[in-house]
Amino acid sequence: MSNFDVIVLGSGPGGYVTAIRASQLGLKTAIIEKESLGGVCLNWGCIPTKALLKSAQVFQYLQHAEDYGLKAEGVDKDFGSVVKRSRGVADGMSKGVQFLMKKNKIEVINGFGTLKPKKKVSVKDESGKETEYSAEHIIIATGARSRELPSLPQDGKKIIGYREAMSLEKQPKSMIVVGSGAIGIEFAYFYNSMGTEVTVVEYLPNIVPVEDEEVSKQLERSFKKAGVKIKTSAEVTSVDTSGEGVKATVKTAKGEEILEADVVLSAVGIKSNIENIGLEDVGISTDRDKILVNDYYQTNIPGYYAIGDVTPGQALAHVASAEGILCVEKIAGMHVEPLDYGNIPGCTYCMPEVASVGLTEKQAKEKGLDIKVGKFPFSASGKAKASGNADGFVKVIFDAKYGEWLGCHMIGNGVTDMIAEAVVARKLETTGHEILKAVHPHPTMSEAVMEAVAAAYDEVIHL
């Protein structure tokens, strides 16, 4: 039996980051992975989808070259090559994680890991051979997978999840996307841009339902302008795959209707990977598909921890990484503060992009707060107009009495790179007036943040 200070089960953005930080802190570390280093994010999620979306964006630019005074004739796409490029990017990132494991002297154990009592993990490799390992601290970072609904059973061909959506051999002529969270919306944008006829079906009244309502409405307008059909307050109650394509029965306020498409993408959320990993054998407590942990990610059983999508926090790559770092720093005896889940940025990488942090206007009002709200449209931004992407706006929400920055909501080109200003400012407890007096460069998209703050305090110049 090999003994370690720390064993990490799972090598996604939670697991591999945790392992590296543990090694940096002088802890003898191993990581167990049943598939590819980097987990879903690097191999089948965050990274390869961004490669697909970039191809879609470039294709759109080429199609609208005349808008920029340019000529591009015979512009077309090679769907297979687009997918191939995406897979190449993912493979490169996974190899990068392999390098980081070697650099940080982390032992990589390939196989399926099962937790055992007394701080042990049994790993079964491809040949079926089982080997047992022990560690003072075992960190569960097994992530999640696409959730399946009883009315929408995935067969991998006509009803697919995100994995199949990013590696289809042939581009479908039509697609129904069920669910309008980040995954559904990003794929809806990608396939629509590639020329697929896309219909989005959302159970709730607004698409991207966790976002501020004004952002949701703006994105819906932008998507409809691009040709995406959107049905909100709608539910797929059954699907018929017996024919050449798929017939989906959709229930709406107006009654039932049948939608037909080549393929249905189920993007209705995720399911934590907590089955068959030995939680019951060890006695680790769970609740509604999540492992219960304290502020430092300790489970109810000493020596066992859990981070990322298997815990109740937001299921985001950057959250998993932050949790893992905090977890091992606590193990190493460092002074750490619990993560502030109220200051986690969320990003959706469609076009226009969506980014937000903190309270929505509705949430702030429901809390009974006296607020100041400012909004600045990109149609009034010189940089946005010059770039040809003037859809969207920046919206900010402040506490009227103390100037606390309660929330920031953006929709527009490149806003996923802009939201960090609000995250850092909120972390530092910056007030609205301090943002207003911090000189922003001109001409930039980021000026819209300053202008939105100015609008909240009735000092806006360019609107």
Q: What is the DSSP string of 308-345?
A: GGGSSS---HHHHHHHHHHHHHHHTT-------GGG--
Burial-class residue 217 by CB neighbours within 10 Å (0-12, 13-18, 19+): middle
| Confidence category of residue 46, pLDDT binned at 50, 70, 90 | confident
User: Do 441 and 409 touch, CB atoms closer than 8 A?
Assistant: no
Instruction: Tell me if 269 is assigned to a ligand binding site.
Output: yes
From residue 454, alpha-carbon distances to 361, 373, 429 in Å are 17, 10, 18
Q: Give me the mean pLDDT over the 91-98 stretch.
A: 91
| Confidence category of residue 463, pLDDT binned at 50, 70, 90 | confident
Instruction: Tell me if 180 is assigned to a ligand binding site.
Output: yes
Instruction: Tell me if 184 is assigned to a ligand binding site.
Output: yes
Burial-class residue 340 by CB neighbours within 10 Å (0-12, 13-18, 19+): exposed
Q: Decide: pTM greater than 0.85.
A: yes
Q: Residues 304-351: pLDDT tens digits? A: 999 999 999 899 999 999 999 999 999 999 999 999 999 999 999 999
Q: Does domain 352-456 have CATH number 3.40.50.300?
A: no
- Asked if the model's pLDDT at residue 220 lies above 90, the reply is yes
Instruction: Tell me if 330 is assigned to a ligand binding site.
Output: no
Q: What are phi and psi of 63, to 5 degrees?
A: -65, -25
Instruction: Tell me if 353 is assigned to a ligand binding site.
Output: no
Domain 159-268 and domain 352-456 have a common topology? no
Q: Does domain 159-268 have CATH number 3.50.50.60?
A: yes
pLDDT of residue 279: 97
pLDDT of residue 41: 80
Q: Closest Cα partner for 350 from 248, 200, 205? A: 200
Q: What is the dihedral of CA 282, 283, 285, 290, to 10 degrees?
A: 40
Q: Give me the mean pLDDT over the 103-132 stretch.
A: 95
Q: Residues 11-21: pLDDT tens digits? A: 999 999 999 99
Q: Is beta strand 130-140 parallel, antiparallel or unpaired with respect to 304-306?
A: parallel
Indicate the helix (H) or strand (E) that contains 109: strand 107-110
pLDDT of residue 261: 97
- Asked if the model's pLDDT at residue 1 lies above 80, the reply is no
Instruction: Tell me if 78 is assigned to a ligand binding site.
Output: no
d(C-alpha 344, C-alpha 191), whole Å = 29
Domain ranges of the chain: 2-146+271-341, 159-268, 352-456
Instruction: Tell me if 309 is assigned to a ligand binding site.
Output: yes
| Confidence category of residue 296, pLDDT binned at 50, 70, 90 | very high
Q: List beta partners, residue 455.
A: none
Instruction: Tell me if 181 is assigned to a ligand binding site.
Output: yes
Instruction: Tell me if 65 is assigned to a ligand binding site.
Output: no
Choose between 36 and 217: higher pLDDT: 217
Class of domain 2-146+271-341: alpha beta
pLDDT of residue 45: 83
Residues that are catalytic: 442
